Amino acid sequence: MAKEIFGNDKKNRTRLPLNRDRIFTAAMEIADERGVGAVTMREVSSRLHVEAMSLYNHVANKDDILDGMVDLVIDQFDLPEDTGNWREAMHRRAVSAHRLFQLHPWVPSLLD
């Protein structure tokens, strides 16, 4: 975890810049460990070793974080190439969705 926050150089322990992807990833880790209800601005900032108010330089609010978490999961969704076999394509999509929902069981609760 320290490498993710400070980088690899032990002598120069400068913080990695805070950005939306780091915020969303930290929030996903919290949701994976303790459920989506545990995702708060305070918890995310604590995970990133920053002040909660600094998150607002990158995200509008908690809903923005939750939307970003869903976007990261959707980016992991396997969209198979069109092989002409629709059954195979649907099967691969279903397997991909099932795998993602197993890894991130909180996702369905955030889908509108």
pLDDT digits (tens, 9 = 90+) for 63-93: 999 999 999 999 998 887 888 999 998 999 9
pTM of the model: 0.80
Please check the confidence at residue 5 and state whether its pLDDT lies above 90: no
Q: Distances from the Cα of 109 to the Cαs of 6, 70, 77, in angstroms? A: 33, 10, 17
pLDDT digits (tens, 9 = 90+) for 50-59: 999 999 999 9
Domains of the chain: 2-110 (1.10.10.60)
Cα separation, 34 vs 19, in Å, equals 23
User: 24-58 burial, b if ≥16 CB within 10 A, otherwise e?
Assistant: bbbbbebbeeeebeebebebbbebbebeeeebeeb
Label residue 10 by pLDDT band (50, 70, 90).
low
Q: What is the pLDDT of residue 83?
A: 84
